[in-house]
Structure 1
Amino acid sequence: METIKLRDEFIKLGQALKAAGLVESGVEAKEVIQDGQVSVNGEIDTRRGRKLYGGDVVSFGGEEIKIED
């Protein structure tokens, strides 16, 4: 499981996918999110701008990202 440490209060879903190296670009992040391939805390989320906070877990392509404060 990849871990992303927050620098600010939150990170947006698209930025988290890029930071973890699961997508190459913001365009790719937008596509996979809108296609319903990404879940946050076990639920599909199609909002690229979804704010993620400490404790959230993102799943995509068999990989998981944990967000930490």
Structure 2
Amino acid sequence: MDVELERGYEGRGGRWVYEIKVLRTGGALIKLKVDARDGTVLGGKPRDHAAGERPASSRTHRETGER
């Protein structure tokens, strides 16, 4: 797994947001937007995921086993 982190400012809400790109084993790329202040996942887009697997933005840390 490989991770890339970018930081940006979202105008309307006036908040800092991290854009995290995760390259999973097997080549699936997941992009997440995370509120920099409290860690809330604001959204996500899987670029390629297995059939039947829910996008990362709809899974919880408990379901993925990640922290």
In the superposition, the TM-score normalised over structure 2's length comes to: 0.27
Larger C-alpha radius of gyration, 1 or 2?
2
Q: Is the strand fraction higher in 1 or 2?
A: 2
In the superposition, the TM-score normalised over structure 1's length comes to: 0.26
Q: Which structure ranks higher in relative contact order (CA pairs < 8 Å, sequence separation ≥ 6)? A: 1
